[in-house]
Chains A and B, each alone.
Chain A
Amino acid sequence: MENLIEITVTVNGTEYHRTVEPRMLLSDFLRHELNLTGTHVGCEHGVCGSCTILFDGDPVRSCLMFAVQANGHTLETVEGLGTPDAMHPLQNAFREKHALQCGFCTPGFLMSLKPFLEQNPNPSRDEIREALSGNLCRCTGYENMVDAVALAAEEMRNG
Protein backbone atom coordinates (compact mmCIF):
# COMPACT_ATOMS: atom_id res chain seq x y z
CA MET A 1 0.00 0.00 0.00
CA GLU A 2 2.97 2.27 0.38
CA ASN A 3 3.38 5.06 -2.11
CA LEU A 4 6.72 6.59 -3.08
CA ILE A 5 6.69 10.35 -3.35
CA GLU A 6 8.95 12.76 -5.21
CA ILE A 7 9.94 15.81 -3.24
CA THR A 8 11.94 18.98 -3.81
CA VAL A 9 13.53 20.54 -0.77
CA THR A 10 15.88 23.49 -0.40
CA VAL A 11 18.45 22.92 2.33
CA ASN A 12 21.08 25.54 3.16
CA GLY A 13 20.43 27.20 -0.20
CA THR A 14 20.81 24.02 -2.30
CA GLU A 15 17.81 22.46 -4.03
CA TYR A 16 17.51 18.68 -3.75
CA HIS A 17 15.17 16.28 -5.59
CA ARG A 18 14.56 12.88 -4.04
CA THR A 19 12.01 10.08 -4.00
CA VAL A 20 11.05 8.98 -0.51
CA GLU A 21 8.79 6.67 1.41
CA PRO A 22 6.18 8.70 3.32
CA ARG A 23 7.32 7.15 6.59
CA MET A 24 10.85 8.53 6.29
CA LEU A 25 11.45 11.02 9.09
CA LEU A 26 12.85 14.37 8.06
CA SER A 27 15.82 13.79 10.40
CA ASP A 28 16.70 10.53 8.61
CA PHE A 29 16.17 12.19 5.23
CA LEU A 30 18.72 14.88 6.05
CA ARG A 31 21.25 12.36 7.34
CA HIS A 32 20.83 9.41 4.99
CA GLU A 33 19.56 10.94 1.74
CA LEU A 34 21.41 14.26 1.80
CA ASN A 35 24.39 13.15 3.92
CA LEU A 36 23.92 16.18 6.15
CA THR A 37 24.93 14.36 9.31
CA GLY A 38 25.32 17.48 11.43
CA THR A 39 21.67 17.05 12.43
CA HIS A 40 21.82 14.52 15.23
CA VAL A 41 19.19 11.98 16.24
CA GLY A 42 18.79 11.47 19.97
CA CYS A 43 15.44 10.37 21.34
CA GLU A 44 13.23 10.32 18.22
CA HIS A 45 10.23 11.47 20.18
CA GLY A 46 10.72 15.20 20.37
CA VAL A 47 12.18 15.45 23.86
CA CYS A 48 15.94 15.93 23.47
CA GLY A 49 16.08 18.57 20.74
CA SER A 50 19.25 17.19 19.09
CA CYS A 51 17.56 17.10 15.68
CA THR A 52 16.34 20.71 15.77
CA ILE A 53 16.56 22.46 12.37
CA LEU A 54 14.96 25.55 10.84
CA PHE A 55 11.86 24.92 8.74
CA ASP A 56 10.94 28.05 6.78
CA GLY A 57 12.91 29.92 9.43
CA ASP A 58 11.21 28.37 12.47
CA PRO A 59 12.94 25.88 14.78
CA VAL A 60 11.35 22.41 14.59
CA ARG A 61 12.14 18.87 15.69
CA SER A 62 13.08 17.14 12.44
CA CYS A 63 12.28 13.76 14.05
CA LEU A 64 8.66 14.90 14.43
CA MET A 65 8.13 15.59 10.74
CA PHE A 66 8.09 13.38 7.69
CA ALA A 67 10.40 14.20 4.79
CA VAL A 68 7.37 14.43 2.47
CA GLN A 69 6.12 17.34 4.55
CA ALA A 70 9.22 19.33 3.62
CA ASN A 71 8.29 19.25 -0.07
CA GLY A 72 8.55 22.81 -1.42
CA HIS A 73 9.92 24.17 1.84
CA THR A 74 13.20 25.80 2.82
CA LEU A 75 15.32 24.25 5.54
CA GLU A 76 18.47 25.22 7.34
CA THR A 77 20.69 22.79 9.21
CA VAL A 78 23.83 23.32 11.27
CA GLU A 79 25.89 22.85 8.09
CA GLY A 80 24.42 26.14 6.85
CA LEU A 81 25.26 28.06 9.99
CA GLY A 82 28.96 28.65 9.44
CA THR A 83 32.19 27.12 8.18
CA PRO A 84 35.38 26.33 10.15
CA ASP A 85 36.90 29.48 8.69
CA ALA A 86 33.83 31.67 9.12
CA MET A 87 31.89 30.46 12.13
CA HIS A 88 28.58 31.91 13.24
CA PRO A 89 28.89 34.14 16.35
CA LEU A 90 26.99 31.44 18.28
CA GLN A 91 29.53 28.82 17.24
CA ASN A 92 32.42 31.11 18.19
CA ALA A 93 30.82 31.88 21.53
CA PHE A 94 30.18 28.18 22.27
CA ARG A 95 33.88 27.49 21.64
CA GLU A 96 35.04 30.53 23.56
CA LYS A 97 32.91 29.77 26.64
CA HIS A 98 33.35 25.97 26.63
CA ALA A 99 29.61 25.54 26.12
CA LEU A 100 30.02 22.00 24.82
CA GLN A 101 31.83 18.88 25.84
CA CYS A 102 30.92 15.82 23.79
CA GLY A 103 29.14 17.98 21.22
CA PHE A 104 26.29 15.62 20.43
CA CYS A 105 23.56 18.06 21.43
CA THR A 106 25.31 21.16 20.08
CA PRO A 107 23.77 21.34 16.57
CA GLY A 108 20.28 21.26 18.08
CA PHE A 109 21.12 24.00 20.54
CA LEU A 110 22.64 26.19 17.84
CA MET A 111 19.63 25.83 15.55
CA SER A 112 17.23 26.63 18.41
CA LEU A 113 19.27 29.66 19.44
CA LYS A 114 19.75 31.26 16.03
CA PRO A 115 16.09 32.32 15.60
CA PHE A 116 15.91 33.14 19.32
CA LEU A 117 18.69 35.73 19.06
CA GLU A 118 17.28 37.12 15.83
CA GLN A 119 13.98 37.79 17.58
CA ASN A 120 15.47 38.81 20.92
CA PRO A 121 18.88 40.43 20.30
CA ASN A 122 19.37 41.45 23.93
CA PRO A 123 17.99 38.63 26.11
CA SER A 124 18.20 38.47 29.90
CA ARG A 125 19.86 35.44 31.48
CA ASP A 126 16.40 34.15 32.44
CA GLU A 127 15.22 34.45 28.84
CA ILE A 128 18.35 32.60 27.71
CA ARG A 129 17.63 29.77 30.17
CA GLU A 130 14.08 29.59 28.86
CA ALA A 131 15.39 29.44 25.28
CA LEU A 132 17.77 26.61 26.23
CA SER A 133 15.04 24.64 27.99
CA GLY A 134 13.81 22.85 24.88
CA ASN A 135 17.12 21.05 24.36
CA LEU A 136 18.90 18.52 26.55
CA CYS A 137 22.63 18.44 27.26
CA ARG A 138 24.04 15.76 29.57
CA CYS A 139 27.59 17.15 29.84
CA THR A 140 27.77 20.85 30.46
CA GLY A 141 25.28 21.71 33.17
CA TYR A 142 24.15 24.55 30.87
CA GLU A 143 25.86 27.34 32.82
CA ASN A 144 28.54 27.87 30.18
CA MET A 145 25.86 27.84 27.50
CA VAL A 146 24.11 30.76 29.16
CA ASP A 147 27.43 32.62 29.07
CA ALA A 148 27.94 31.67 25.45
CA VAL A 149 24.53 32.89 24.34
CA ALA A 150 25.04 36.17 26.19
CA LEU A 151 28.41 36.58 24.45
CA ALA A 152 26.98 35.70 21.04
CA ALA A 153 24.14 38.17 21.54
CA GLU A 154 26.63 40.88 22.41
CA GLU A 155 28.80 40.14 19.39
CA MET A 156 25.79 40.05 17.08
CA ARG A 157 24.53 43.39 18.44
CA ASN A 158 27.94 44.93 17.83
CA GLY A 159 27.87 43.55 14.30
Chain B
Amino acid sequence: MKPAPFEYHAPATVEQALELLATHGYDAKILAGGQSLIPTMNFRLAQPAILIDMNNIPALRYIEPTPAGGVRIGAMTRYQTAERSPLIAERAPLVAEALPHIAHPQIRTRGTMGGAIAHADPAAELPAVCVALGARFKLRRGTQERWIAAEDFFVGLFTTLLEPDELLLEIELPPLPARSAWAFTEVARRHGDYALVGVAAGITLDDAGNCADVRLSFLSVGDRAVLAHNAIAALKGHPPTAETIAHAAAIAAADDIAPNADIHASVDYRRHLAKTLAQRALTQAAERASAG
Protein backbone atom coordinates (compact mmCIF):
# COMPACT_ATOMS: atom_id res chain seq x y z
CA MET B 1 0.00 0.00 0.00
CA LYS B 2 0.96 3.65 -0.22
CA PRO B 3 1.25 6.22 2.57
CA ALA B 4 -1.50 8.79 3.08
CA PRO B 5 -0.60 12.38 2.11
CA PHE B 6 1.45 14.45 4.55
CA GLU B 7 3.26 17.75 4.73
CA TYR B 8 7.02 17.33 4.55
CA HIS B 9 9.72 19.33 6.30
CA ALA B 10 13.44 18.66 6.23
CA PRO B 11 15.11 21.05 8.69
CA ALA B 12 18.88 21.54 8.46
CA THR B 13 19.45 22.19 12.16
CA VAL B 14 18.19 20.91 15.51
CA GLU B 15 16.85 24.40 16.28
CA GLN B 16 14.71 24.40 13.12
CA ALA B 17 13.42 20.93 13.97
CA LEU B 18 12.51 22.07 17.49
CA GLU B 19 10.69 25.11 16.12
CA LEU B 20 8.66 22.88 13.81
CA LEU B 21 7.86 20.58 16.73
CA ALA B 22 6.85 23.53 18.90
CA THR B 23 4.45 24.67 16.16
CA HIS B 24 3.00 21.30 15.17
CA GLY B 25 3.46 19.11 18.27
CA TYR B 26 0.89 16.33 18.23
CA ASP B 27 0.29 16.56 14.45
CA ALA B 28 3.95 16.01 13.61
CA LYS B 29 5.98 12.85 13.53
CA ILE B 30 9.77 12.70 13.50
CA LEU B 31 11.26 10.73 10.59
CA ALA B 32 14.62 9.27 11.57
CA GLY B 33 15.78 6.20 9.63
CA GLY B 34 12.20 5.37 8.73
CA GLN B 35 12.70 1.61 8.90
CA SER B 36 9.80 1.21 11.34
CA LEU B 37 7.80 4.36 10.61
CA ILE B 38 7.60 4.04 6.82
CA PRO B 39 6.27 0.44 6.83
CA THR B 40 3.65 1.58 9.34
CA MET B 41 2.76 4.47 7.02
CA ASN B 42 2.68 2.15 4.00
CA PHE B 43 0.11 0.05 5.86
CA ARG B 44 -1.67 3.29 6.82
CA LEU B 45 -1.51 2.25 10.45
CA ALA B 46 0.20 5.64 10.92
CA GLN B 47 -1.05 8.69 9.04
CA PRO B 48 0.87 11.65 10.42
CA ALA B 49 -0.24 15.02 9.05
CA ILE B 50 3.30 16.37 9.12
CA LEU B 51 6.65 14.64 8.82
CA ILE B 52 9.82 16.26 10.12
CA ASP B 53 12.72 14.52 8.41
CA MET B 54 15.90 14.58 10.53
CA ASN B 55 18.15 13.16 7.81
CA ASN B 56 19.46 16.54 6.70
CA ILE B 57 20.87 17.40 10.15
CA PRO B 58 24.51 16.27 10.06
CA ALA B 59 25.04 17.67 13.58
CA LEU B 60 23.14 14.66 14.96
CA ARG B 61 25.50 12.11 13.43
CA TYR B 62 28.53 11.51 15.64
CA ILE B 63 30.21 8.92 17.86
CA GLU B 64 32.54 10.58 20.35
CA PRO B 65 34.43 9.61 23.51
CA THR B 66 33.32 11.22 26.78
CA PRO B 67 36.03 12.46 29.15
CA ALA B 68 34.83 9.95 31.75
CA GLY B 69 35.59 7.05 29.40
CA GLY B 70 32.15 6.46 27.90
CA VAL B 71 30.68 7.19 24.48
CA ARG B 72 28.25 9.82 23.17
CA ILE B 73 26.20 8.83 20.14
CA GLY B 74 24.24 11.37 18.11
CA ALA B 75 20.62 10.33 17.63
CA MET B 76 20.85 10.17 13.82
CA THR B 77 23.89 7.87 13.83
CA ARG B 78 23.04 4.91 11.63
CA TYR B 79 23.36 1.33 12.88
CA GLN B 80 25.91 0.56 10.19
CA THR B 81 28.14 3.44 11.29
CA ALA B 82 27.95 2.30 14.92
CA GLU B 83 28.59 -1.30 13.87
CA ARG B 84 31.83 -0.25 12.17
CA SER B 85 32.97 2.15 14.90
CA PRO B 86 36.25 1.18 16.64
CA LEU B 87 35.27 3.43 19.57
CA ILE B 88 32.04 1.49 20.17
CA ALA B 89 33.88 -1.82 19.78
CA GLU B 90 36.35 -0.70 22.44
CA ARG B 91 34.15 1.18 24.89
CA ALA B 92 30.75 -0.44 24.37
CA PRO B 93 31.36 -4.06 23.31
CA LEU B 94 27.80 -4.98 24.32
CA VAL B 95 26.44 -2.55 21.72
CA ALA B 96 28.85 -3.93 19.12
CA GLU B 97 27.72 -7.48 19.91
CA ALA B 98 24.00 -6.61 19.71
CA LEU B 99 24.04 -4.49 16.54
CA PRO B 100 24.42 -7.35 14.01
CA HIS B 101 21.22 -8.87 15.44
CA ILE B 102 19.20 -5.84 14.33
CA ALA B 103 17.29 -6.73 11.15
CA HIS B 104 19.45 -7.00 8.01
CA PRO B 105 22.41 -5.03 6.60
CA GLN B 106 20.05 -3.25 4.16
CA ILE B 107 18.03 -1.97 7.15
CA ARG B 108 21.10 -1.07 9.22
CA THR B 109 22.30 1.31 6.49
CA ARG B 110 19.26 3.52 7.20
CA GLY B 111 18.02 2.73 10.72
CA THR B 112 19.31 5.03 13.44
CA MET B 113 20.37 4.61 17.04
CA GLY B 114 18.11 7.42 18.26
CA GLY B 115 15.19 6.20 16.19
CA ALA B 116 15.31 2.80 17.89
CA ILE B 117 15.25 4.44 21.32
CA ALA B 118 12.44 6.89 20.56
CA HIS B 119 10.35 4.20 18.84
CA ALA B 120 10.63 1.98 21.96
CA ASP B 121 9.69 -1.30 20.32
CA PRO B 122 9.71 -3.90 23.12
CA ALA B 123 11.24 -6.39 20.65
CA ALA B 124 14.12 -4.07 19.69
CA GLU B 125 17.67 -4.78 20.78
CA LEU B 126 18.96 -1.29 21.51
CA PRO B 127 16.53 -0.29 24.29
CA ALA B 128 17.39 -3.46 26.26
CA VAL B 129 21.10 -2.87 25.67
CA CYS B 130 20.84 0.74 26.88
CA VAL B 131 18.92 -0.37 29.98
CA ALA B 132 21.60 -2.97 30.75
CA LEU B 133 24.41 -0.46 30.30
CA GLY B 134 22.74 2.24 32.40
CA ALA B 135 22.77 4.63 29.44
CA ARG B 136 21.06 8.00 29.58
CA PHE B 137 19.38 10.05 26.89
CA LYS B 138 19.58 13.78 26.18
CA LEU B 139 16.22 15.34 25.30
CA ARG B 140 15.48 18.90 24.25
CA ARG B 141 12.30 20.90 23.90
CA GLY B 142 12.70 24.55 22.93
CA THR B 143 15.86 25.55 24.76
CA GLN B 144 15.26 23.22 27.69
CA GLU B 145 17.44 20.15 27.95
CA ARG B 146 17.01 17.20 30.26
CA TRP B 147 18.68 13.84 30.77
CA ILE B 148 16.67 10.68 31.40
CA ALA B 149 18.07 7.31 32.48
CA ALA B 150 17.30 4.50 30.03
CA GLU B 151 15.50 2.49 32.67
CA ASP B 152 13.06 5.36 33.33
CA PHE B 153 12.65 6.38 29.68
CA PHE B 154 10.66 3.38 28.45
CA VAL B 155 7.23 3.44 30.08
CA GLY B 156 5.14 1.07 27.94
CA LEU B 157 4.41 -0.32 24.51
CA PHE B 158 6.01 2.08 22.01
CA THR B 159 5.74 4.68 24.78
CA THR B 160 8.47 6.82 26.32
CA LEU B 161 8.83 9.94 28.44
CA LEU B 162 9.38 12.02 25.26
CA GLU B 163 6.90 14.88 25.05
CA PRO B 164 5.25 15.57 21.66
CA ASP B 165 7.39 18.70 21.20
CA GLU B 166 10.57 17.15 22.52
CA LEU B 167 13.51 15.68 20.57
CA LEU B 168 15.89 12.89 21.51
CA LEU B 169 19.36 14.24 20.69
CA GLU B 170 21.94 11.90 22.17
CA ILE B 171 22.60 8.53 23.76
CA GLU B 172 25.32 8.59 26.39
CA LEU B 173 26.90 5.30 27.40
CA PRO B 174 28.76 5.36 30.73
CA PRO B 175 32.35 4.12 31.10
CA LEU B 176 32.63 0.40 31.83
CA PRO B 177 33.81 -0.55 35.33
CA ALA B 178 37.13 -2.40 35.70
CA ARG B 179 36.81 -6.22 35.63
CA SER B 180 33.43 -6.03 33.95
CA ALA B 181 32.32 -7.93 30.88
CA TRP B 182 29.18 -8.21 28.82
CA ALA B 183 27.28 -10.59 26.58
CA PHE B 184 24.26 -10.41 24.30
CA THR B 185 22.21 -13.27 22.93
CA GLU B 186 18.79 -13.78 21.41
CA VAL B 187 16.63 -16.40 19.72
CA ALA B 188 14.85 -15.62 16.46
CA ARG B 189 13.31 -18.09 14.05
CA ARG B 190 15.42 -16.66 11.24
CA HIS B 191 18.41 -14.37 11.64
CA GLY B 192 17.21 -10.80 11.22
CA ASP B 193 13.66 -11.51 12.37
CA TYR B 194 12.35 -9.99 15.55
CA ALA B 195 13.70 -12.01 18.46
CA LEU B 196 11.32 -14.20 20.46
CA VAL B 197 13.44 -13.28 23.49
CA GLY B 198 16.76 -11.48 23.83
CA VAL B 199 19.08 -10.91 26.78
CA ALA B 200 21.85 -8.46 27.62
CA ALA B 201 24.04 -9.32 30.61
CA GLY B 202 26.94 -7.70 32.40
CA ILE B 203 29.03 -8.85 35.34
CA THR B 204 31.61 -6.89 37.35
CA LEU B 205 33.91 -8.96 39.55
CA ASP B 206 35.54 -7.82 42.78
CA ASP B 207 39.00 -8.90 43.97
CA ALA B 208 37.57 -12.01 45.63
CA GLY B 209 35.89 -13.09 42.39
CA ASN B 210 32.37 -12.27 43.56
CA CYS B 211 29.88 -10.28 41.52
CA ALA B 212 30.36 -6.69 42.64
CA ASP B 213 27.68 -5.71 40.16
CA VAL B 214 25.29 -7.52 37.83
CA ARG B 215 23.25 -6.14 34.95
CA LEU B 216 20.60 -8.18 33.19
CA SER B 217 17.94 -6.96 30.79
CA PHE B 218 15.46 -8.56 28.41
CA LEU B 219 13.74 -7.71 25.17
CA SER B 220 10.51 -9.17 23.77
CA VAL B 221 9.21 -10.26 27.18
CA GLY B 222 6.54 -7.64 27.77
CA ASP B 223 5.63 -4.10 26.82
CA ARG B 224 9.14 -2.62 27.18
CA ALA B 225 12.81 -3.40 27.75
CA VAL B 226 13.05 -4.84 31.27
CA LEU B 227 15.81 -4.66 33.85
CA ALA B 228 15.74 -7.88 35.90
CA HIS B 229 15.98 -6.44 39.42
CA ASN B 230 15.21 -9.67 41.29
CA ALA B 231 17.74 -11.72 39.37
CA ILE B 232 20.36 -9.01 39.79
CA ALA B 233 19.80 -8.92 43.56
CA ALA B 234 20.05 -12.72 43.71
CA LEU B 235 23.44 -12.87 41.99
CA LYS B 236 25.08 -9.75 43.41
CA GLY B 237 27.69 -10.49 46.08
CA HIS B 238 27.97 -14.14 45.05
CA PRO B 239 30.57 -15.82 42.89
CA PRO B 240 29.24 -16.43 39.36
CA THR B 241 29.09 -20.22 39.45
CA ALA B 242 26.88 -22.49 37.37
CA GLU B 243 24.53 -22.82 40.38
CA THR B 244 24.23 -19.12 41.28
CA ILE B 245 23.75 -18.19 37.62
CA ALA B 246 21.09 -20.87 37.09
CA HIS B 247 19.32 -19.66 40.25
CA ALA B 248 19.38 -16.02 39.10
CA ALA B 249 18.18 -16.95 35.60
CA ALA B 250 15.27 -18.92 37.08
CA ILE B 251 14.30 -15.92 39.22
CA ALA B 252 14.48 -13.63 36.19
CA ALA B 253 12.19 -15.88 34.15
CA ALA B 254 9.70 -16.28 37.00
CA ASP B 255 9.64 -12.87 38.67
CA ASP B 256 11.19 -10.17 36.50
CA ILE B 257 9.31 -10.55 33.24
CA ALA B 258 5.69 -10.62 32.09
CA PRO B 259 5.83 -12.07 28.59
CA ASN B 260 2.85 -12.21 26.25
CA ALA B 261 1.76 -15.06 24.03
CA ASP B 262 1.51 -14.50 20.29
CA ILE B 263 1.56 -16.62 17.14
CA HIS B 264 5.34 -16.96 17.47
CA ALA B 265 5.65 -18.18 21.06
CA SER B 266 3.58 -19.05 24.13
CA VAL B 267 4.14 -17.47 27.54
CA ASP B 268 5.73 -20.68 28.83
CA TYR B 269 8.08 -20.91 25.89
CA ARG B 270 9.15 -17.27 26.32
CA ARG B 271 9.86 -17.89 30.02
CA HIS B 272 11.83 -21.00 29.11
CA LEU B 273 13.85 -19.01 26.55
CA ALA B 274 14.39 -16.18 29.03
CA LYS B 275 15.82 -18.57 31.60
CA THR B 276 18.06 -20.40 29.16
CA LEU B 277 19.30 -17.26 27.42
CA ALA B 278 19.91 -15.44 30.71
CA GLN B 279 21.94 -18.41 31.88
CA ARG B 280 24.00 -18.37 28.69
CA ALA B 281 24.56 -14.63 28.65
CA LEU B 282 25.48 -14.43 32.35
CA THR B 283 27.85 -17.40 31.98
CA GLN B 284 29.52 -15.83 28.98
CA ALA B 285 29.82 -12.45 30.71
CA ALA B 286 31.31 -14.12 33.80
CA GLU B 287 33.83 -16.04 31.69
CA ARG B 288 34.83 -12.90 29.86
CA ALA B 289 35.15 -10.94 33.13
CA SER B 290 37.37 -13.66 34.64
CA ALA B 291 39.51 -13.83 31.51
CA GLY B 292 39.79 -10.06 31.08
Quote the shortest CB–CB distance from A113 to chain B (angstroms).
Answer: 11
Task: State the interface size on chain B (CB cutoff 8 A).
Answer: 30
Is B179 in contact with chain A by the CB < 8 A criterion? no
B35 touching A23, Cβ below 8 Å? no
Which residues of the partner chain B approach A45 to less than 8 Å between Cβ atoms? 39, 42-43
Q: Which residue of chain A lies nearest to B80 when distances are taken between CB atoms in the complex?
A: A58
Binding-face segment, A77-85, A88-96, A126-134, A144-152: A126-134
Which residues of the partner chain A approach B190 to less than 8 Å between Cβ atoms? 133
Interface size of A as a range: 20 to 34
Instruction: Digitize B159-196: 1 where CB-to-A-CB distance is under 8 Å, 0 elsewhere.
Output: 00000000000000000000000000000001110000
B191 touching A23, Cβ below 8 Å? no
Interface majority SS (helix, strand, loop, mixed), chain A: mixed
Which residues of the partner chain A approach B2 to less than 8 Å between Cβ atoms? 23, 25, 28
Is B109 in contact with chain A by the CB < 8 A criterion? yes
A112 touching B3, Cβ below 8 Å? no
Pick from B6, B80, B104: contact of A134, CB under 8 Å:
B104
Residues of B38-54 whose CB lies within 8 A of A: 38-39, 42-43, 49, 51, 53
A45–B38 CA distance with the chains assembled, in angstroms: 8
Binding-face segment, A1-9, A10-18, A99-107: A1-9
Which residues of the partner chain A approach B107 to less than 8 Å between Cβ atoms? 46, 61, 64, 134
A3 touching B106, Cβ below 8 Å? no
Which residues of the partner chain A approach B35 to less than 8 Å between Cβ atoms? 46, 61, 64
A134–B35 CA distance with the chains assembled, in angstroms: 14
Which residues of the partner chain B approach A135 to less than 8 Å between Cβ atoms? 106
Quote the shortest CB–CB distance from A131 to chain B (angstroms).
Answer: 7
Is B290 in contact with chain A by the CB < 8 A criterion? no
